């Protein structure tokens, strides 16, 4: 996976006997981080430098600058990135020290919102497949499908638009109600 699309590193786990973050906080889970506008990469770089495993999915978009069109990488979910870590009290405090980080999503430090592994896995497969992806309005209803073949095999999402053999597969992060759409071959889908 190209380094400019994601940055993942391992961090030795902070240890603490304080269970104030809840009984389940010892396991590595995915957490959503909310950053200030246009500061996702800065937050990602700071956390990676501290040794945290960070995932900042990006997509390629066309931009007009200096009178010309250029293809640039932008965050797939503007304002958000993901952290995979066992979130004990010391780790939580260390994450909060990150400049330009607004907060870790959830209802307070003892009830952090966890992003399901399946949602992160689906986004990671889209990034690794290097397929054109575009932001899409968050959807709750529609036909849920699973991709059966190709680089996205096993990914589930909502099929929203079909042509004879093409469709848009919408992948959603329910926690912050954002979605991304990727064009897929409808012959590689089955009902989930």
DSSP 106: B
Give the pTM. 0.70
Domains and CATH numbers, the chain: 28-115 (3.30.70.940), 118-191 (2.30.30.30)
The SS3 call for residue 7 is coil
**Element containing residue 80 per DSSP (H, E):** strand 80-86
Torsions phi, psi of 158, nearest 5? -105, 125
Q: 112: number of CA atoms within 13 Å, CB side?
A: 34
Rounded distance between C-alpha atoms, residue 168 and residue 165, angstroms: 11
Angle at 116 between CA 113 and CA 121, to 5 degrees: 135
Computed on alpha carbons and rounded to an integer, the radius of gyration of the chain in Å comes to: 18
Rounded distance between C-alpha atoms, residue 51 and residue 155, angstroms: 29
Rounded distance between C-alpha atoms, residue 43 and residue 49, angstroms: 10
Rounded distance between C-alpha atoms, residue 137 and residue 146, angstroms: 20
| Mean pLDDT (10-residue bins), the chain, 192 residues | 44 35 66 97 98 96 87 94 96 97 93 96 94 73 80 89 76 90 82 76
């Amino acid at each position: 996976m190209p380094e400019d699309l994601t940055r993942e590193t391992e961090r030795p786990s902070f240890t603490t006997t304080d269970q104030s973050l809840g009984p389940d906080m010892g396991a590595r889970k995915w957490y959503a981080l909310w950053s200030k506008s246009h500061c996702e990469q800065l937050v990602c770089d700071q956390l990676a430098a501290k040794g945290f495993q960070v995932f900042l999915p990006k997509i390629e978009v066309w931009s007009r600058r200096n009178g010309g069109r250029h293809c640039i990488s932008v965050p797939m979910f503007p304002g958000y990135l993901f952290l995979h870590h066992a979130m004990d009290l010391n780790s939580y405090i260390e994450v909060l020290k990150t400049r330009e980080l607004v907060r870790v999503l959830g209802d307070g430090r003892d009830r952090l919102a966890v992003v399901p592994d399946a949602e992160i896995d689906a986004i990671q497969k889209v990034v690794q497949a290097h397929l054109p992806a575009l932001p899409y309005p968050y959807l709750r209803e529609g036909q849920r499908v699973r991709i059966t073949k190709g680089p996205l095999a096993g990914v589930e999402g909502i099929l929203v638009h079909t042509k004879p053999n093409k469709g848009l597969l919408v992948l959603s992060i329910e926690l912050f109600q954002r979605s991304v759409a990727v064009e897929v071959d409808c012959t590689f889908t089955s009902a989930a």
